[in-house]
Amino acid sequence: MKKPRSWRWLRLAVPPATVLLVLLTGLVLFELEQPDEDDPAYLSPASTAAIGASTLADGVRAAGVKIARVGGTADAFLPENRGDVTILLTTPQFVHPEYLRRLALLSSATRVVVVEPSRETLLRGQVPIEGTDRALASGVSAPGCDYRPATDAGRAGVRRTRYGPVNQAGEAQLARCYDDSLVVLSRGWTTMAVVGSADPFRNDRIGEFGNAKLAVGLLTERPLLVWVDLHHREAPPKPEENPYQGGPTRQPTSTAGPTQTAGPDRPSGTPSGGRTTPQRPSAPPQTPSPQQSERQNPLWHAFPAWTYVVAVLLAVAFLLYALARARRMGGPVVEPLPVVVRAGETVTGRGRLYQRARAREESLTTLRSAALSRMARLLRLEPGTHRETIVTAVAASSGWPQHTVRDTLFGAPPEDDGSLVIAAIQLEALVEAVTTEQPDAEGARR
Amino acid sequence: MITWRPAAIVAAGTVLLALIGIVLGDTVSGGWLWLGAAILVTAVAILCAVDVLGAAPPRAMTLSRTGHQSLWLGDTGSVELVVRNGSDRPFIGRVRDAWVPSAGAYPTEQEVRVDPGRAVRVTTTLTPTRRGDRPAVRVTLRAYGPLRLAYRQTTRRAAEAMTPPWRLRVYPAFASRRILPEKVARLRILDGSVVTRGRGQGTEFDTLREYVIGDDVRSIDWRGSARRSDVVVRTWRPERDRRLVCVLDTGRTSAARIGDEPRLDAAMDAALLLASVAARADDRVDLLAVDTTVRASVTNVDKRTLLWRLVTAMAPLEPALVETDFGLVAGEVLRRERKRALVVLFTALEPGALGDGLLPVLPQLAAKHKIVVAAVHDPALSRLAQVRPDAGPDEVYAAASAQRTLAERERVAAALRHHGVEVVDAPADVFASRVTDHYLALKSTGRL
């Protein structure tokens, strides 16, 4: 016999599946909504798309600051872009970490603005900020500091990634605004501003709150803005580009006009041979691992080594015992039970219905008519005998006074349950009296 | 799968390692202890694997059964399971012969050793606790390896494929068997009284015999005397070969439990006693069990095999939660019984079931046959109808409800009597006796 397919598993599967589906749908929608940093329009000064930054660029130009748009970080180190400049890194995760490190060695007049660097980017670039906490969307908050662009802007929607403390000595934190979302720190000779959200720079969000003022304020502190418009992962720098040789205090060439270098132009002199490997490997720094080993849980040494072995073996033994007990000798056997119902079920059920409906009069009438028919049989009264005749006959055979018999058999309907009970008990007593007194009554009549 | 032994070995090894660790202290490095533990666990795993491979394959066993096929309820029987080893390794293991719980199988599991090519009988004792067909469900085999570290066991599907089917038919208890001698004795008295009473209703001509002084001269057969040159008298005996039909209503009303057993079981008991007595009286007994279809029927059975045929037909009957089709009952009875018969209808006096179902078809049935409606009544109902002096409101309401039910039943009985139907309404303990008494009364007055 083929068993009907059981759908019981659905009860277990459906609720988690629903939750999972909702979560997945949410995640997919969220990811679709996220701006794509590979997109050439993303925070590009020339793009008018929603994720572009042409509005910001216009604002910056209106403030009298020239914009030098470069296609790679290497171009930011060109002599004409050195000196009294602001360098804007819109996509720091594409910037090669080596450049991020070298940015610290630029002249003291240089300001660097980094848009929403991730924890990994900060770590690789050796930016001394510990830890990030990224929210799903940007929130609005008050500046909460006396950093000039922030105080000018007031409330702004910049609170998305929140940055931890600046950890290393000698590199002081200059300002911390918007609930840790805007951190300004001095790094080497330069000043670096880490902005926790791309929203203030984007065309579609720049109009909200003080976003425009904040973004423009951050980028207009120096007369030239080098806008690194990078949308692909950068190649490691060539040794010739080493800024150490140029020296940090080289005279700025800011007098030169704004060079609108469009596209990923390679700087001159790059395709030279020789060593192509960078001096330092680009792998993540190895420093955290010895720290972790030093911080190993001291509890491990609290017990002798054999205790752990014994604990694991005991667990294995319990697991084996559970396995041994797990399989039974065949499944349980089902008894096909016949349908059996208690016979008095309907009667007691109907009794409870009477009680709930407070059918006192109805109940007492039923009891009285049953008692009457029983006594009528005993006293040999014809059906349809007049009421008074019955009362007389019953009174005679029971020995009860006539008015009591009349009250008992034909009295008023009961007011409450108490009087119903009294009436029923009295009725039963009357029937009892008639049935037991019957021989005497018969004898008296004869 | 493994037994408890691998766990015990690992536990023992754990104790050993702990002792080593305590004794040697820091002189032994953790690495060596870990290595020892790994070796222990691996060794146990390998041993278990080897042991599983060494066990006899349970599917190579062939199973068959012999033993009791039927039992009376309350008796004890046994069924033997023959396990034949078709593999080349000895089967050492356990056998569970699973029956439905109401079959009362004991023991549930047995330890068995079967050598290659040999067979062993595993006996299961059965004490059924319920009437009807009690099936054997599944035989599960578990073959241990030589070290008893691991075993192989039939999967549920394989076990169900291997299990030889068996069905133990449990006959109804027939508790009223003990009053059968009394009823048969009354039947004999009836015989004798008929013999002395002579001709009349309910008697038929038996034989001619010689006149002896004391015989009633009115029974002298003058024509026979003339033929035989001797005075002969006619003798009479109770009528024989009358037909009796027991109709069991297996519909919803038969599912009601009265005392300890369903109404259907009380009806079966009464029907069995009635049929036994009727068979002694040389009447022919038929059985019909009907709800919406005919569940069982026994017709034209020889007197000697009657009881066995009846219990066999009755054993698997179960109450069905359907309204009995009395039109079908009437049709079946009219179709089967051409001659006038006594139809005993075992049902319940319920206005809903009888008023709507039976009363419309009763006239055509009563015109052809003599109908007796036999109903078990519930003593609990009469108790409920009494109002005790210390009763509470709920008991008074219940009493009113019970009085109403009793009145309704009385009305149904009156309606049935109006159609010439006789009603036997008795509590469960004396029900069978009352029904048989009624039959005997009908028989003695020749109204059969």
pLDDT value at residue A283? 42
- The mean pLDDT value for A107-126 works out to 82
Please indicate if any CB of chain B lies within 8 Å of the CB of A135.
no
In this prediction, residue A295 carries a pLDDT of 57
Nearest by CB to B404, from A316, A317, A366: name it. Answer: A366
Residues of A in contact with B132 (CB under 8 A): 338
Q: Residue A149 pLDDT more than 90?
A: no
Query: Residue B166: its chain A contacts at CB < 8 A?
Result: none
pLDDT at A439 over 70: no
User: Cα(B320)–Cα(B322) distance, rounded to whole angstroms?
Assistant: 6
**Cross-strand bridge partners of residue A377:** none
DSSP character string of A412-425: PPPSSHHHHHHHHH
* CA distance, residue A23 to nearest chain B CA (Å): 39
Pick A324's closest partner by Cβ from B2, B34, B263: B2
Contact map slice: B 200-239 vs A, CB within 8 A? none
The token pair at B14 is: 């754990």
User: Do B63 and B162 form a contact (C-beta atoms < 8 A)?
Assistant: yes
Q: Are strands A224-228 and A66-70 parallel, antiparallel or unpaired?
A: parallel
Mean pLDDT of A23-35: 87
pLDDT > 90: percent of chain A: 12
CB proximity B133 to A under 8 Å: no
SS3 B374: strand
| Chain B 42-101, residues with CB within 8 Å of chain A CB atoms | 44, 94, 96, 98-101
Alpha-carbon distance A300 to nearest alpha carbon in chain B (angstroms): 12
Sign of CA dihedral B97, B101, B107, B111: positive
If residue A398 lies in a helix (H) or strand (E), which one and from where to where? helix A387-398
Residues 242-261, chain B, touching A (beta carbon < 8 A): 255-258
Query: Which own/partner contact pairs does A353-360 have at CB distance under 8 Å and 24+ positions apart?
Result: A354/B397, A354/B400, A354/B401, A355/B393, A355/B394, A355/B397, A359/B397, A360/A413, A360/A414, A360/A416, A360/A417, A360/A420
Instruction: Give how far the C-alpha of residue B90 lies from the chain's centroid of Cα atoms, to the nearest Å.
Output: 41
Q: Within an 8 Å CB–CB cutoff, is residue A421 touching chain B?
A: yes
Mean of per-residue pLDDT scores for chain A: 78
The residue among A277 and B317 whose pLDDT is bigger is B317
Q: Of B17, B255, B378, which has the smallest distance from its Cβ to A309's Cβ?
A: B17
Nearest CA in chain B to A420: B393
- Alpha helix positions (H), B152-198: 156-162, 180-197
Q: Which residue of chain A has the CA closest to B36?
A: A309
The yes-or-no verdict on residue A226 having pLDDT over 80 is: yes
Q: Which A positions 335-374 lie with beta carbon below 8 A of chain B?
A: 335-336, 338-348, 350-352, 354-355, 359, 362-364, 366-367, 369-370, 373
Interface check B284 vs A, CB under 8 A? no
End-to-end CA distance of chain B: 71
Distance from CA of A286 to the nearest CA of B (A): 28
What's the rounded mean pLDDT across residues A167-185?
A: 76
Q: What CATH topology corresponds to B58-171?
A: Immunoglobulin-like (2.60.40)
* pLDDT at residue B163, rounded to an integer: 93
| 3-class secondary-structure state, position B159 | helix
Instruction: Tell me, yes or no, if A24 comes closer than 8 A to chain B by beta carbon.
Output: no
Residue closest to B3 by CA, chosen among A310, A332, A326, A314: A326
Q: What domains does chain A contain, in order, with CATH numbers? A: 54-235+252-265 (3.40.50), 355-445 (no CATH)
Beta bridge partners of B63: B83
pLDDT of residue A170: 52
How far apart (Å, rounded) are the C-alpha atoms in residues A179 and A199?
A: 16
Please report the pLDDT score of residue B47 as a whole number: 95
Residue pair B246/B342 in contact by the 8 Å Cβ criterion: no
Task: Count the neighbouring beta carbons within 10 Å of the beta carbon of residue B23.
Answer: 10
Over 60: is that where the pLDDT of A14 sits? yes
CA angle A187, A188, A192 (to 5 degrees): 30
What is the chain B residue with the closest CA to A419?
A: B393
Q: Which residue of B has its CA nearest to A366?
A: B400
Structure tokens at B141: 């085999």
Q: Is any Cβ of chain A less than 8 angstroms from the Cβ of B367? A: no
**Above 60 in pLDDT, residue A106?**
yes
Backbone angles phi, psi at B192, to 5 degrees: -60, -45
* The predicted structure's pLDDT at residue A11: 84
Q: How confident is the model at residue A250 (pLDDT cuts 50, 70, 90)?
A: very low
Integer Cα distance of A180 and A393 in angstroms = 105
Q: Is the pLDDT of residue A75 over 60?
A: yes
For the segment A322-360, what is each residue's pLDDT rounded down to a tens digit?
999 999 888 899 888 887 788 888 889 999 999 999 888
Structure tokens at A368: 């009285």
Q: Is B29 on the interface with A (CB under 8 A)?
A: yes
B window 315-334, beta carbon within 8 A of A: 318-321
Are B375 and B249 within 8 A, CB to CB? no
Say which amino acid occupies A437: E
**pLDDT confidence of A168, banded at 50, 70, 90?**
low
What pLDDT shows up at residue A245?
Answer: 44
Chain A: closest CA distance from residue B246 (Å): 22
Alpha-carbon gap, residue B387 to A358, rounded angstroms: 18
Compute the C-alpha angle B312/B313/B319, nearest 5°: 120
**Looking at chain B, which residue has its C-alpha nearest residue A317?**
B7
Domain extents for chain B? 5-54, 58-171, 243-444
* Residues B243-444, CATH architecture: 3-Layer(aba) Sandwich (3.40)
Question: How distant is the Cα of A3 from the closest Cα of chain B, in angstroms?
Answer: 12
**Residue type at A234 in one-letter notation:** E
Tell me, what's the ipTM? 0.74
State the smallest CA–CA distance between residue B367 and chain A in angstroms. Answer: 31
| Chain B residues close to A427, C-beta within 8 Å | 387
Axis crossing angle, helix B393-418 with helix B359-368, rounded to the nearest 10: 40
Quick one: average pLDDT of A220-234? 83
- Where helices occur in B292-392 by DSSP H, the ranges are 306-314, 326-336, 359-368, 379-385
3-class DSSP state for residue A336? coil
Within an 8 Å CB–CB cutoff, is residue B153 touching chain A? yes
pLDDT band at A285 (very low <50, low <70, confident <90, very high): very low
Contacts 24+ apart (CB under 8 A), B24-33: B25/A304, B26/A304, B28/A306, B29/A305, B30/A305, B30/A306, B30/A308, B30/A309, B33/A305, B33/A306, B33/A309
| Chain A CA closest to residue B11 | A317
> What is each CA distance from A206 to A202, A209, A216, A358, in whole angstroms?
6, 8, 10, 75
The residue type at B323: E
Chain B positions touching A317 (Cβ under 8 A) are 7-8, 10-11, 14
**In which residue ranges of chain B is pLDDT below 70?**
194-198, 200
